[in-house]
Chain A
Amino acid sequence: MIRVNNLIKDYGQRRALCGLTFHAQQGEVVGFLGPNGAGKTTTMRILTGYMPPTEGEAIVAGYDVVSESLEVRKRVGYLPETVPLYNDMVVFDYLKFMADLRHLPDAEERVEEALELVGMIERANGYIGNLSKGMRQRVGLAQALLHRPEVLILDEPTIGLDPNQVVEIRNLIRELGKERTVLLSTHILSEAQQICDRVIIINKGQIIAEDTPENLQARLLGAKRVMIQVRGEADDVLPQIQAIPGVRQAVVNLDGTIEFEFLPTQDVRPRVARAIIEAGHELLEMRTISMSLEEIFLELTKDNAGLPM
């Protein structure tokens, strides 16, 4: 449903996206988690046909976002981060206008259906300018749902809402995500964990981690990262380390050192050391290092210190 390959976006001299690659299946709710300035909005604007990437390719609902932009836009529902709306319009008229731009044959019923879904039907005749932040958010969401899109792209859908509204919107998104593809962005870790089937963590225009919320949780709560150095070719040693149960994400770094992770419940370090020696290699160094993921999460959770993880 969404396939992104090596996406790069430059704003003038400044590189906002440095080669993103990810995908999302139908019926999957994928969360884009990252601090402000990570590149979430930029990615979403490219996926919705608002602006083209500098390099790379993005396929949404089977169409290329650059060469088949109109086809993509027909099939995508988008809630921009700033929730732009016409304040001098009545809610119903605004949605009817957007429905007409999409050539919906039963525009008025669709507007009512969307308003019903977001629980705003009783405000249909009010002016948008008089709505609270939470209501604006819901009108924006209704706009994104008008044409029953295959793909929903929601940029920080719960930002600025009060806790009750947040719960409502999250439930709605989960519901919508059952048969659609939903890509949503957030800078709140707990939100990503609650709503998403899969979380992509991005920072400074790069994907740092991609996993299910459960695995991310485990990695966060205690996964330890270890660096080891052996005499000789690291590539020869790698398969033996990878074969040890409990060793995760073992890789050879450019400088010839090896890195892997393990959960604290299962300290694999002695077994790794033994395996290296038994295989006839010499172990020069082994030490735990701080995970870059942890640093990102410190950054991420700094603004939301009060929220439960």
Chain B
Amino acid sequence: MPIHRAIEPGAAWTELVVTDADWDAASAELLTAMLSQLVLIRTFEEFVLDLAAKGLIHGPAHSSIGQEGGAVGSCISLTSRDTVNGSHRGHHQFLAKVLTHLHPDGIDPAKPVPEDVREALLRTLREICGLARGFSRGRGGSMHLRWDEAGAIGTNAIVGGGVPLAAGSAWAHKHAGTDAVAVSYFGDGAMNIGSVLETFNLAAAWSLPLCFFVENNQYAVSTHIAEVTAETRLSGRGPGFGIRSWKVDGMDPLAVHLVLQEALEHLRAGRGPVLVEAEVYRYFHQNGPFPGSAFRYRTKEEERQWRQRDPLDTVARHLVRRGILAQEDIAGCIQQAKELMAELGEVILEPKPDGKPNEKRIKPQEWPDAGIVDEGVRGDLSELAELPFTDLGDHAGELVESSFIGAIAGVLARRMETDPRVVVMGEDVHRLNGGTNGATRGLSERFPERVLGTPISENAFAGLGGGLAMDGRFRPIVEFMYADFMWVAADQLFNQIGKARHMFGGTGTVPLVLRSKVAMGTGYGSQHSMDPAGIFATAPGWRIVAPSTPYDYIGLMNTALACDDPVVVLEHVDLYQSRGPTIADDYDHYLPVGKAAVRRRGSAITVITYLAMTQYVLAAVEDVGIDAEVIDLRWLDRASLDWDTIAASVQKCNTVLIAEQGTQGTSYGGWLADEIQRRLFDWLDAPIERVTGGEASPSISKVLERAAFAGTEEVAAKLRQMAEV
């Protein structure tokens, strides 16, 4: 008979319960400050629901009415340096953080609402209505509320999507040498999504000052928590990751406050992340002004019982009980908030012309100018204005032959040496003498704090990098061992990192570099052999560089690192062992954004290519003996493409071939062909031709793999065919 020994989790898991004695011990200032926030947030949200009922909110209005206790109780002891983010249901957290930022010592409920609070509420209302003078110029709306200055770093419409970003913020707090913390709010539904669970692990592994704050309101839209998880005690998730965890009654703001006191002490002492599960209840349905019971997934009785635990009433009751405020004071405070909201409504609304009595509309001048629709997808590159751009021909220095992989390790080392903001992370980047390919050789010995071997959690560490980039104090270089893993991290790459700048109004920066390895030809098969260029080219926000020589790698990496936009640097394994001229001992040169390289001059056919395919195209051109002009694009994204070089070549040759190695479906050249025929139609003498791989992803078997992607032979065949027609 085997023996069973009970195992205790390493991290504590407790429930904190307050008593009347705690209420008696709480300071009057704390309680009145809580009351003011609760009243302002509640009244604000009621007003928003009222607008929603009148059809004046475009999109969902996810109210948190009923849940304010968790937000107010937690935010009230944060400083402005502490950061918070949240999810689709984030009005209450955003406002609680903003109000605490504006008035850290509390807002007196007996006094008129301060002017700066009025301004912040108006700006929030404008954002929720999608208006020009909202925090994000009306682009974000209810689900994307950000005010960096207040430490509110942005709410998120992807369930769980903001959590890895908060880890980036926490990493920055820690490594900037501060004791600030990050709080990430999310719902019970988010507890089951990978990005959250991955981030639990990552934050605990790296001991980040991050508070995971789950508002367990028992429902994800209409789905009850018990239907989707066997362990409904969500704070139980923490100990499994080594995270100190609490459960608390979120309807009780004081209880939440007391938990946060303990949690903050833990966080600020550098003891790693915490998990707080606050039991709350939203009185209304997922969105809009109707209760959940109207949709029959719960009962009126259940709602009634929760309403008896209302956080606002609870605080008011104790204030009256302790004689700090009279009932009339509280009524007056609520009345004043209602009047304020009505007045703010007047600012943005007007009677609808020809409408029914009392029918309102948004004042036309409040809407954003539709002309800004694409503004700020990327930055204007002004941050690069002072850089000394050079190309290989411009240097006086001695030329030496270098290996491509040496150029990577060399430039990364040089940048880490000169710029303490540069952080490298990825799987095994710290071991194996420079990761799986030697690209990070020597870095972890020299910069152990900034070379981070990650867990296998592409979504979490890409997102952490994204959060770090948005924070602005660091310049992360995230490495993906294989390009195909971008699908694993797709939410963070495309929904978060790529869209963030634009979505939050176009001004924030996201200086992230993603090194992504293209490995077709190495026998790693269907899931390790993609070229991601075509996918990144469809994603707004990203810039793409594809260096094909050691010199270009150095120049492009330096520019990518200096750029305030996310840049994916494509690396091809075929190039790692290649050699080429570089400038002796110079890792400080920059290649300009949007400048392609003409690798061969010719007048018969313009061949447009990039990355490793460049060398195969050049070989094919020699083979066939055709006078082709070969353009190595270097920059592939829509905003950085070198149209001058392309146009000049097409006008000369009149015939175009776009050549790339990867599969048809995700190939890059389709949009480019479209754009070329649009811009240069009158100069074309034949349809634009393309070389790509096949439909299927390359297989493991060597012959099948070679048949699946394109190289010299395919290009040569196409060139011959084009020459014959």
Q: Verify that A and B bind, or say they do not.
A: no
**Chain A interface residues (CB < 8 Å from chain B):** none
Chain B residues within CB distance 8 Å of chain A: none
